[in-house]
Structure 1
């Protein structure tokens, strides 16, 4: 049926039209579906302890993983450097997924090229794909650097990136002095934070080669890690400016992922300048804002650069206090009064909301660093973690999380679930319900199924707009975390008290 172009219906309304309802009914005839009563019976069974035991006994199957694969983290790291084009040695389909996943989160174009490996490359290797791909990328997109990573296909057949890049330069694909750092990023091991770490190490080892000087440049390096909140890089720059010391962010993708609409297309907005990245080897110290996405990079900096590194995660009051004291120690500059005032505002906001979050039970999932930081903040508010699920966990994270939980009276009844997925989380929420679920947009289906209110924190957030633009670190980040958590709780209270003459006794105007 033709539609009026001035009244195009969104899919929310469109699929309720009679023709689509009939289409869905007809479709069921070919799906070998069970009767509605049987579907309901099995669905109810999956909510109990008996099913939970069977669910947690599975080993060979993952259902809705709470992680992404290595190349996604690698290309995320690459675009933080000036004029850098990510290049993935692998199939087009994989790269389309990475681009789409990041574009949906940021609502920004994410430029990444692929060597478009197909069946012939899988048999004979992807050298020619690399030679042609680098040549085309260099000529068409005019980058200042091309950062290469791999997908499963290239890794399974054993493509040697260093050799391939050398051969491509010999063939004239790019000038011999053109920077082409690389990282092997097989998706069948690790996760997106591993890919970030591998690419960051690969880029830094490339751009700093031969740049070591006998004297320090006096700067402090910051490595954000796989941090998807663009406001955080800007907050780091603001804090450093208030102190007044020189710094380098390795790497700053905030402008790339949140670029202004000026009417002119810029393929490479912002980014850490390559000369600043090259000189980062001469800084006085490097601070990583995440631990688990920077393991190899920090080891490399300490060993090869002979530069001290530390991890400082400025989430919540304690984390921010420790971060600012570290900056004061390294720079020799007292903590600015403006930041002390901001601390007071954050404490005041926490006091305002404390009575609502105190004692609330919550579940959380996500990357190790994000989960650690959010749990720390929630413990400061007196909230009680119950289920802590980290699919891409490791022994170091589990040890530090258990130490954090033991440090607070509110963390005594939490269970850490390493290597588990979101179908495991579903069983946990049905059998041991909580007041809040904290996680990315994929928790939306858990919210619908288990009726557990979802606080959207993490990556990806693709069903709400603009949350990635905020800061979650520092004292200003505390305000945002409070906003998201306590107001989600209020919305749930209102939903449960909004029926006139029945439940509206506590449908209060003032919270």
Structure 2
């Protein structure tokens, strides 16, 4: 059992975590025809907007209530009212999702009260859903904001299910955590549909941030879960939950509609995907398709090929709890040792990690703990630490702004697990053949020294022959 340590430093150096409002806003982007709004200053929204644009390389719909110093002190009702009216007039969304920030939470704005007053003053907004989520950025982290937002969407938009109402045996709800990419959601949708089931994802980033080019411009989200689908989540036979962070949302849905859920805290590796396939086969009453049996065999073979390179390797990981748990579990399955683990927020998974201690900290803490490691895994802000440590670097999580295709990375299923072996294994192979930058003698220097010694030996031998 791991010991969870909390930071004792006076300040965060080189932050690992992204804030709650960003997690909440990104979850809202998985809802159809939605306009996410951060209730705070323009700078808060601009910073988050830049991060998401750089990560997904897509147009990101995100608005702000543009709180000034005076508005913050006096209260933000007028700013919220004006923001909602302008957004509805110009963007015509089906839903406006408001997430709070540190400055408005510190002031204590009653945004739920603001929304009730706005609706009473503007009956023309009756066809627009307005959702508010409390996500102060001075506490918790990215996955907390995501999880709270999904739970609030269910709480406000999914009605209670009448007793005895029929269920669709082929429909399955899928609540996905923020550690899954749009590519992961696409892969999981294909797997579920191959079993003859009809999945409804919440949130569904695969429709809004998957990189497709729409036929027409829209100022709101390009796709995602529709309000109708959210309202009918109770009609499904069961809910598949991906990530411990989504447990509260699943419990909220079960309480309102009676729909049971099954939670998978890992989706990368052999055993977790065997469990997923067994669950889908049992739910659909069908056999596992032949192509997944073949992919399983390929994964087992890749594990045999790769364990020579993973065995005994010391790995340092910095990530949100669910991503940390998923990645650390797979690396341990392959024979690696998790030598350092740093995360962003509390989770019941942390104590179960295969490591002595887990620190809720920053990238400075991760760099300090990773000094004798063979690989560093974290998001793009960790690249400088890997360079200073002279160890290979594998990017995982948000943001990933210095590589293409972040939104299409996959880690779920047999095929993605196999590819992860190849990607990381090749880093180990390349590192083993590269000179040690920390040594004063590289291979090239050694070759030069040997060549110079050979020339001197030849010169000396020639001199001796001429003397004779």
Q: Give the TM-score band, short-chain normalised.
A: 0.7 to 0.9
1:259 matches 2:198 = no
Distance 2:45 2:159 in 1: 29
Deviation at 1:387, TM superposition (A): 0.9
Mapped contact 2:55–2:406 kept (Cα < 8 A): no
Distance 1:57 1:216 in 2: 48
Mapped contact 2:27–2:203 kept (Cα < 8 A): yes
Secondary structure, counterpart of 2:125 in structure 1: coil
Secondary structure, counterpart of 1:182 in structure 2: strand
Secondary structure, counterpart of 1:82 in structure 2: coil
Deviation at 1:72, TM superposition (A): 0.3
Task: Pick 1 or 2: higher relative contact order, CA cutoff 8 A, min separation 6.
Answer: 2
1:360 matches 2:313 = yes
Deviations 1:55-75 (CA, angstroms, capped at 9, x unpaired): x98432211222111110001
Deviations 1:296-315 (CA, angstroms, capped at 9, x unpaired): 31231232222212211321
Mapped contact 1:106–1:468 kept (Cα < 8 A): yes
Query: Partner of 2:463 in structure 1?
Result: none
Distance 2:447 2:431 in 1: 13
1:59 matches 2:32 = no
Deviation at 1:330, TM superposition (A): 2.4
Distance 1:453 1:68 in 2: 23
Mapped contact 2:185–2:206 kept (Cα < 8 A): yes
Deviation at 1:212, TM superposition (A): 4.9
Deviation at 1:478, TM superposition (A): 0.9
Query: Partner of 2:86 in structure 1?
Result: 136
Secondary structure, counterpart of 1:180 in structure 2: strand
- 1:78-477 equivalence runs, <5 A: 78-172=28-122, 174-209=124-159, 212=162, 214-218=165-169, 219-261=171-213, 264-267=216-219, 268-292=221-245, 294-312=246-264, 313-394=266-347, 396-401=348-353, 405=354, 414-430=355-371, 433-477=372-416
Gaps of 5+ in 2: 1-5, 437-441, 449-468
TM norm structure 1: 0.81
Mapped contact 2:24–2:135 kept (Cα < 8 A): yes
Secondary structure, counterpart of 2:339 in structure 1: strand
- Richer in strand (by share): 2
Per the alignment, do residues 352 and 139 of structure 1 end up closer, same or farther by CA in structure 2, a change over 3 Å counting? same
1:478 matches 2:411 = no
Distance 2:322 2:315 in 1: 18
Distance 2:162 2:319 in 1: 37
- 1:70-81 equivalence runs, <5 A: 70-81=20-31
Mapped contact 1:393–1:418 kept (Cα < 8 A): no
Which is further off, 63-72 or 175-184? 175-184
Secondary structure, counterpart of 1:62 in structure 2: coil
Per the alignment, do residues 165 and 426 of structure 1 end up closer, same or farther by CA in structure 2, a change over 3 Å counting? same
Secondary structure, counterpart of 1:133 in structure 2: helix
Mapped contact 2:193–2:199 kept (Cα < 8 A): no
Secondary structure, counterpart of 1:257 in structure 2: coil
For the pair shown, the structure with the greater C-alpha radius of gyration is 2
Distance 2:427 2:401 in 1: 17
Secondary structure, counterpart of 1:491 in structure 2: helix
Deviation at 1:136, TM superposition (A): 0.3
Deviations 1:22-69 (CA, angstroms, capped at 9, x unpaired): xxxxxxxxxxxxxxxxxxxxxxxxxxxxxxxxxx98432211222111
Secondary structure, counterpart of 1:81 in structure 2: coil
Mapped contact 1:224–1:249 kept (Cα < 8 A): yes
Per the alignment, do residues 496 and 329 of structure 1 end up closer, same or farther by CA in structure 2, a change over 3 Å counting? same
Secondary structure, counterpart of 1:181 in structure 2: strand
Secondary structure, counterpart of 1:286 in structure 2: strand
Gaps of 5+ in 1: 1-55, 406-413, 505-511
How many corresponding residue pairs?
Answer: 434
Mapped contact 2:45–2:64 kept (Cα < 8 A): yes
Displaced runs of 4 or more, over 4 A? 210-213, 497-501
C-alpha RMSD of matched pairs (Å): 2.1
Deviations 1:126-147 (CA, angstroms, capped at 9, x unpaired): 1111111100000111111111
Query: Partner of 2:466 in structure 1?
Result: none
Distance 1:211 1:102 in 2: 36
Per the alignment, do residues 464 and 212 of structure 1 end up closer, same or farther by CA in structure 2, a change over 3 Å counting? farther
